[in-house]
């Protein structure tokens, strides 16, 4: 390990680090624009200059590897002067439009100009102006502000895996652009907005909306997919203005998907802000008392077997555990949190979580993806897979749709039969898995949410056993289920699944259709066939006027994920706390309190009076809820039901990444993305005539 | 001038040369040949690179089109817009400027009626002011297509342009009584190698 002296401190750091990283390790901050720890080193902004003794000129610390005996100075008048010089050059063509720039107040260039900028300009020549580029509905560009750090180019190329962006021209005429000014087609494109150290790339939906200092920042988690990305919600008053990523190395690193970032404008539209009752076929506003009274009149005296509840993909744990308690009190076993009809085995925890954890992908050395398109189902996890792929020696096999996943893979087939073939001793990919030290399987909902899901699960269990996907000696469990619903793992942990003799989602819908079930309680469940519920009395509790609300006989307005203190469990089984960033609109309430109040009206009170009470119900249901922010290893066991499989090919449950839930369906930005990225493609392939 | 073609493909000769260039690099590093391939494409397109040619090269080398466009836009010897039949590039860097490149530029402008970066209406000439072309020893100079014209003056420059317009082939290299880049008049050094001149003239030694 090389020893070097930085500002008089002798330090020993790992070989291969750069001088900038060594400085950071001892707490010396080096100003920088182009350097980013997750991107390749470009060394083109020159802001990170330091003085290296015996070197003929200042060195760019981001690109200089540490060497034995180096003597570095970062805080001398000379270094300060060098940086001032660099800053003066950077500002030559940078417009002085901070007052009308969205980056103002959170701009690296602005901040560092405070430290290294001159108080006047010596530049008398013409400033250059650059035409703005069109980059789609998410990214606003003001290219005159660009300082050519190329972070956006490196991010899209290296992490997002698209080759749309580049820098054309040279010197004075260099310009960042997307190829032929196409919209940047990536599920992760919004991250370039965070990466841009100046105001060249900013958020289009957030343009001229707010200033950072007037926003209330709340650290919470995302529910647009089952990744549980850590986010910061910025709200002004009761309005969520934007969503930004929060650093969590174990989950989302520092990226979030475009849906996570941009769907928040859906929180303002189509909201259910007061209870509604259906009268003569029309939904009319009502009071909470009237709504509860109507439910009571329908439920009163009804046999438990004629009542059913389905929890949707964004239901929080507190609401689910409350609703389960209420249903038990009502004598009903007809509850299900798997509205896609997934056949997943809830009895063994290892059977339904992402056992290796997301960070574990980086340790894997072979991967089989079954029935999943991780790019659409969990863009952040897909970025991790790509990160591992880029590190090299990572064979990937896919059984399912042959979609563009942004990395190379071997397409092994589309049907369950191809999955069986991997088990065959002669299978080439089977051998790859067998030879790997840490093989991994990712099973998507496309493989489990089908009639033969249990048999397919049994098959994947067999593969896991046969190829050492689970090795307790090594502490490795590469059996990973990739969920698409933020509520799913919590629902399974709580046991929000049919009790003894209870009906599962499809059976509930069918029974409601033929009259066997008379009352259906939908907890934010919008992705079922609500028109098939027949004459059943439908209670919809949720936050958006979506499919469920359209069919409902009573609507109980709940809170969206930014409007409640709630617990979420991501696909890894990691329990994370969401926090209230803005209050729910109008009469809407936090979801568990609605169920708690309703249980009193029905005379079936559930035992909790405050958030602490409902959380202790969660812990009673499953001790995992005690482990906040930690993904606890699950014990491996046997699961799945061996049986016949069909020939039907695996399909991903998501065809439109931008619209998967009531919030994103209400979002104008997501609608624009759908139009730009999906409908344009359809037109190009000629399906629109 | 050539109009932008809808499609582009190497002709047989171009393909042969492209393959020879690619063969210079190890397997998997074929994209290293992007610059010679762009040159081959540019020559085939009449001195400029239309978008179909850039995309063709990117597919040929299995690399993203934006990376090819980055190269093509970075180097000034690739033209992304059509040019005239005769591409007149006048050097205006220091040695040429000291030797009167302003006059050469003016002669071109007067003769052709266009300014730097413009093409004559008949599509015969494109005039461009460029940086050093590496012939400072015989400054001032200009390059027209692949040929250098050195030791210029206003009159000589106009005469060269006239000859080109008339379809003739003007004398290339130094316009004075100078052999390649040797001193004007008698040799002052390396005189014992006088017979080299004869050998060069006979084509036995590369000039």
- Per-residue pLDDT tens for A104-130? 999 999 999 999 998 888 999 999 999
Residue of A nearest to B66 (CA): A179
CB contact under 8 A, B73 and A163: no
Q: Which of B32, B48, B74 is the last residue of a domain?
A: B74
Same-domain pairing of B164 and B102: yes
Å between B58 CA and nearest CA of chain A? 12
pLDDT tens-digit profile of A274-287? 999 999 999 999 99
Q: Where are the beta strands (DSSP E) in B8-115?
A: 86-91
The pLDDT of A634-656, averaged and rounded, is: 92
Chain A residues close to B70, C-beta within 8 Å: 166-168
Chain A residues close to B78, C-beta within 8 Å: none
Q: What is the mean pLDDT of chain B?
A: 91
Per-residue pLDDT band for A378 (boundaries 50, 70, 90) equals: very high
Q: Which of residues 36-75 of B touch A (CB under 8 A)?
A: 51, 64-67, 69-70, 73-75
Question: Whole-angstrom Cα distance, residue A31 to residue A84?
Answer: 11
Q: Which CATH number fits the domain that encloses residue B165?
A: 3.40.30.10
Residue of A nearest to B70 (CA): A168
Question: Whole-angstrom Cα distance, residue A406 to residue A418?
Answer: 23
CB contact under 8 A, B73 and A168: yes
For residue B204, is it within any domain?
A: no
CB contact under 8 A, B66 and A166: yes
Which of A163, A171, A408 is the best residue to mutate to test the B interface, defined by the most B CB atoms within 10 Å of its own CB? A163
Please state the domain count of chain B: 2
Å between B73 CA and nearest CA of chain A? 5
Q: What is the pLDDT of residue B207?
A: 44
CB contact under 8 A, B70 and A179: no
Å between A150 CA and nearest CA of chain B? 13
For residue B190, is it within any domain?
A: no
Residue of A nearest to B64 (CA): A163
- How would you classify the pairing of strands A3-6 and A537-542? unpaired
Same-domain pairing of B70 and B93: no
pLDDT tens-digit profile of A603-631? 999 999 999 999 999 999 999 999 999 99
Same-domain pairing of B29 and B56: yes
Question: Whole-angstrom Cα distance, residue A476 to residue A487?
Answer: 26
Chain B residues close to A165, C-beta within 8 Å: 66
Chain A residues close to B73, C-beta within 8 Å: 168-170
Same-domain pairing of B64 and B95: no
CA end-to-end distance (rounded Å), chain A: 65
Residue of B nearest to A177 (CA): B66
pLDDT tens-digit profile of A244-254? 999 999 999 99
How much of chain A is in helix, strand and coil states, percent to nearest 5?
A: 35, 20, 45
Q: Which of A165, A169, A179 is closest, CB to CB, to B74?
A: A169
Å between B56 CA and nearest CA of chain A? 15
Same-domain pairing of B70 and B95: no
Q: What is the mean pLDDT of chain A?
A: 94
Which of A152, A162, A166, A178 is the best residue to mutate to test the B interface, defined by the most B CB atoms within 10 Å of its own CB? A166
Chain A residues close to B66, C-beta within 8 Å: 163-166, 178-179
Q: What is the pLDDT of residue A685?
A: 58
Which of A44, A168, A178, A392 is the best residue to mutate to test the B interface, defined by the most B CB atoms within 10 Å of its own CB? A168
Per-residue pLDDT band for B202 (boundaries 50, 70, 90) equals: confident
For residue B110, is it within any domain?
A: yes
Cα→Cα distances A87→A4, A80, A97, A426, Å: 27, 10, 17, 63
Same-domain pairing of B69 and B20: yes
Question: Whole-angstrom Cα distance, residue A614 to residue A647?
Answer: 45
Q: Which of A163, A169, A170 is closest, CB to CB, to B66?
A: A163
The pLDDT of A165-183, averaged and rounded, is: 92
To 10 degrees, what angle do helices A428-435 and A416-423 make?
Answer: 60
Chain B residues close to A180, C-beta within 8 Å: 51
Sign, Cα dihedral of B110, B112, B113, B118: negative
pLDDT tens-digit profile of A60-86? 999 999 999 999 999 999 999 999 999
Same-domain pairing of B51 and B104: no
Q: What is the pLDDT of residue A445?
A: 95
Share of chain A above pLDDT 90, in %: 93
Place of tokens 């606890």: A632
CA A65 to chain centroid, in Å, comes to 35
Closest to A193 (Cα-Cα) out of A209, A180, A205, A181? A205
Q: Which of A164, A168, A178 is closest, CB to CB, to B70?
A: A168
Same-domain pairing of B102 and B170: yes
Same-domain pairing of B21 and B61: yes
The pLDDT of A507-511, averaged and rounded, is: 96
Better-predicted residue by pLDDT, A221 or B195: A221
Give the A-side interface with B, CB within 8 Å. Answer: 163-170, 178-180
Q: Which of B26, B41, B74 is the last residue of a domain?
A: B74
To 10 degrees, what angle do helices A108-116 and A77-92 make?
Answer: 130
CB contact under 8 A, B70 and A164: no
The pLDDT of B194-201, averaged and rounded, is: 72
Same-domain pairing of B35 and B61: yes
For residue B141, is it within any domain?
A: yes
Residue of B nearest to A163 (CA): B64
Q: Quick check: B81 contacting A, CB < 8 Å? A: no
Same-domain pairing of B97 and B167: yes
For residue B128, is it within any domain?
A: yes
Q: What is the pLDDT of residue B2?
A: 57
Chain B residues close to A163, C-beta within 8 Å: 64-67
- pLDDT higher than 60, residue A686: no
Q: What is the pLDDT of residue B194?
A: 67
CB contact under 8 A, A169 and B69: no
CB contact under 8 A, B70 and A170: no
**pTM of the shown model:** 0.92
User: How many beta-carbon contacts under 8 Å exist across A and B?
Assistant: 26
Range of the domain at B58: 12-74
Per-residue pLDDT band for B186 (boundaries 50, 70, 90) equals: confident
CA A216 to chain centroid, in Å, comes to 22
For residue B30, is it within any domain?
A: yes
Which of B34, B65, B70, B71 is the best residue to mutate to test the A interface, defined by the most A CB atoms within 10 Å of its own CB? B70
The pLDDT of B11-28, averaged and rounded, is: 95
- pLDDT higher than 60, residue A391: yes
- pLDDT higher than 70, residue A683: no
Whether residue B140 is preceded by a cis peptide bond, meaning omega within 30 degrees of 0, is yes
Q: Which of B51, B70, B75 is closest, CB to CB, to A166?
A: B70
pLDDT tens-digit profile of A316-358? 999 999 999 999 999 999 999 999 999 888 899 999 999 999 9
Burial class (CB in 10 A: 0-12, 13-18, 19+), A108: middle
Closest to A562 (Cα-Cα) out of A271, A338, A192, A276? A271
Closest to B57 (Cα-Cα) out of B88, B25, B15? B15
Q: Which of B52, B74, B96 is the last residue of a domain?
A: B74
CB contact under 8 A, B70 and A167: yes
For residue B197, is it within any domain?
A: no
What's the maximum distance between 2 C-alpha atoms anywhere in chain A?
A: 90
Chain A residues close to B67, C-beta within 8 Å: 163, 166
Residue of A nearest to B74 (CA): A169
- pLDDT higher than 60, residue B1: no
Complex ipTM: 0.86
Vertex A485 angle, CA A481 and A490, to 5°: 80
Q: Which residues of B121-139 are buried (b: 16+ CB within 10 A; e: fewer)?
A: eeeebbbbbbeebebbebb
Question: Whole-angstrom Cα distance, residue B125 to residue B113?
Answer: 10
Å between A170 CA and nearest CA of chain B? 5
Q: What is the pLDDT of residue A689?
A: 41
Same-domain pairing of B103 and B56: no
For residue B168, is it within any domain?
A: yes
């Amino acid at each position: 390990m090389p020893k070097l002296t930085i500002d008089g401190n002798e330090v020993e750091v790992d070989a291969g680090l750069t001088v900038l990283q060594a400085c950071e390790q001892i707490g010396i901050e080096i100003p920088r624009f182009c350097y980013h720890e997750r991107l390749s080193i470009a060394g083109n902004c020159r802001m990170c200059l330091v003085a290296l003794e015996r070197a003929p000129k200042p060195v760019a610390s981001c690109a200089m590897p540490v060497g034995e005996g180096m003597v570095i100075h970062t805080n001398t008048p000379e270094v300060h002067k060098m940086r001032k010089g660099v800053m003066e050059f950077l500002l030559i063509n940078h417009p002085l439009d901070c007052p009308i720039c969205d980056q103002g107040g959170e701009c690296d260039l602005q901040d560092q100009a405070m430290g290294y900028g001159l108080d006047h300009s010596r530049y008398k020549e013409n400033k250059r102006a650059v035409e703005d580029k069109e980059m789609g509905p998410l990214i606003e560009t003001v290219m005159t502000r660009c300082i050519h750090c190329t972070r956006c180019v490196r991010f899209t190329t290296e992490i997002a895996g698209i080759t749309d962006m580049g820098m054309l021209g040279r010197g004075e005429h260099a310009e960042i652009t997307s190829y032929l000014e196409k919209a940047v087609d990536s599920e992760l494109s919004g991250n370039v907005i965070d990466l841009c150290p100046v105001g060249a790339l900013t958020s289009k939906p957030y343009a001229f909306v707010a200033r950072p200092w007037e926003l209330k920042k709340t650290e919470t988690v995302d529910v647009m997919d089952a990744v549980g990305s850590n986010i910061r919600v910025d709200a002004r008053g009761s309005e969520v203005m934007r969503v930004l990523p929060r650093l969590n190395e174990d989950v989302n690193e520092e990226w979030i998907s475009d849906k996570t970032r941009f769907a928040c404008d859906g929180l303002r539209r189509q909201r259910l802000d007061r209870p509604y009752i259906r009268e003569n076929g029309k939904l009319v506003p009502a009071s909470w008392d009237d709504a509860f009274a109507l439910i009571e009149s329908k439920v009163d005296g009804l046999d438990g077997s004629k009542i059913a509840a389905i929890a949707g993909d964004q239901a929080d744990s507190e609401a689910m555990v409350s609703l389960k308690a209420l249903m038990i009190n009502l004598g009903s076993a007809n509850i299900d949190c798997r509205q896609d009809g997934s056949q997943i085995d809830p009895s063994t925890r290892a059977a339904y979580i992402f056992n290796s954890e997301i960070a574990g992908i980086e340790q894997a050395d072979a991967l089989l993806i079954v029935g999943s398109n991780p790019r659409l189902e969990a863009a952040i996890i897909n970025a991790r897979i790509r990160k591992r792929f880029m590190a090299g020696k990572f064979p990937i096999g896919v059984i399912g749709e042959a979609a563009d996943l942004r990395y190379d893979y071997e397409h092994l087939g589309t049907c369950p039969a191809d999955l069986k073939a991997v088990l065959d001793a002669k299978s080439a990919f089977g051998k790859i898995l067998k030879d790997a030290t840490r093989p991994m399987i990712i099973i998507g909902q496309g493989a489990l949410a089908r009639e033969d899901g249990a048999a397919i699960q049994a098959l994947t269990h067999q593969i896991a056993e046969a190829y050492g996907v689970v090795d307790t000696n090594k502490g490795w469990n590469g059996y990973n289920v990739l969920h698409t619903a933020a509520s799913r793992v919590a629902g399974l942990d709580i046991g929000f699944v049919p009790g003894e003799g209870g009906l599962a989602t499809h059976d509930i819908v069918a029974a409601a259709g033929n009259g066997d079930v008379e009352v259906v309680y939908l907890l934010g469940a919008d992705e079922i066939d609500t028109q098939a519920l027949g004459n059943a009395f439908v209670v919809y509790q949720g936050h958006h006027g979506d499919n469920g609300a359209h069919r409902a006989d009573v609507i109980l307005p709940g809170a969206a994920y930014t409007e409640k203190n709630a617990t979420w469990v991501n696909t890894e089984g990691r329990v994370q706390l969401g926090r209230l960033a803005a209050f729910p609109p109008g009469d809407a309430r936090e979801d568990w309190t609605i169920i708690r109040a309703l249980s009193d009206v029905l005379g079936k009170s559930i035992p909790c009076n405050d958030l602490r009470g409902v959380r202790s119900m969660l812990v009673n249901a499953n001790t995992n809820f005690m482990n906040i922010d930690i993904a606890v290893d699950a014990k491996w066991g046997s699961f799945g039901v061996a049986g016949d499989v069909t020939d039907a090919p695996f399909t991903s449950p998501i065809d439109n990444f931008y619209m998967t839930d009531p919030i994103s369906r209400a979002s104008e930005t997501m609608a624009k993305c759908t139009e730009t990225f999906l409908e344009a493609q359809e037109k190009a392939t000629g399906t629109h005539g | 001038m050539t109009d932008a073609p809808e499609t582009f493909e190497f002709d047989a000769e171009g393909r042969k040369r492209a393959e020879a260039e690619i063969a210079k690099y190890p397997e998997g590093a074929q994209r290293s040949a992007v610059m010679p391939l762009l040159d081959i494409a540019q020559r085939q397109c009449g001195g400029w690179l239309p978008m179909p040619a850039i995309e063709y090269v990117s597919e040929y080398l299995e690399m993203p089109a934006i990376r090819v466009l980055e190269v093509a836009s970075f180097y000034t010897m690739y033209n992304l817009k059509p040019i005239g039949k005769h591409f007149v590039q006048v050097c205006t860097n220091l040695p040429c400027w000291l030797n009167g490149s302003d006059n050469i530029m003016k002669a071109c402008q007067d003769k052709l009626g266009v300014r730097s970066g413009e093409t004559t209406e008949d599509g015969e000439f494109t005039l461009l002011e460029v940086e050093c072309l590496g012939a400072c020893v015989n400054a001032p100079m200009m390059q027209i297509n692949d040929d250098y014209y050195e030791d210029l003056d206003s009159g000589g420059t106009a005469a060269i342009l006239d000859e080109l317009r008339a379809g003739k082939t003007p004398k290339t290299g130094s316009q004075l009584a100078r052999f390649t880049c040797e001193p004007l008049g008698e040799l002052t050094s390396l005189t014992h190698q006088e017979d080299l001149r004869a050998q060069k003239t006979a084509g036995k030694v590369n000039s």
